[in-house]
Amino acid sequence: MSGASFADHEVGRVERAGARMSALIEEVRVLPEGAAPHWLLGQAETALGELTG
């Protein structure tokens, strides 16, 4: 794999991870209150922001 191909692959990997994480955050948002720890959503949103820049 060339350097450019590898870079494109890694960018795609981060984008896919961000999309999966966004989907999981949306699932947590609709859970009944108390079904997930209160800190989970905030930390997940922070991590997504750091991942996607």
Output the pLDDT for position 35.
93
Average pLDDT score over the chain: 84
Output the pLDDT for position 1.
57
**Three-state secondary structure string covering 1-52:** CCHHHHHHHHHHHHHHHHHHHHHHHHHHHCCCCCCCCCCHHHHHHHHHHHHH
pLDDT band at 12 (very low <50, low <70, confident <90, very high): confident
Q: Model-level pTM?
A: 0.68
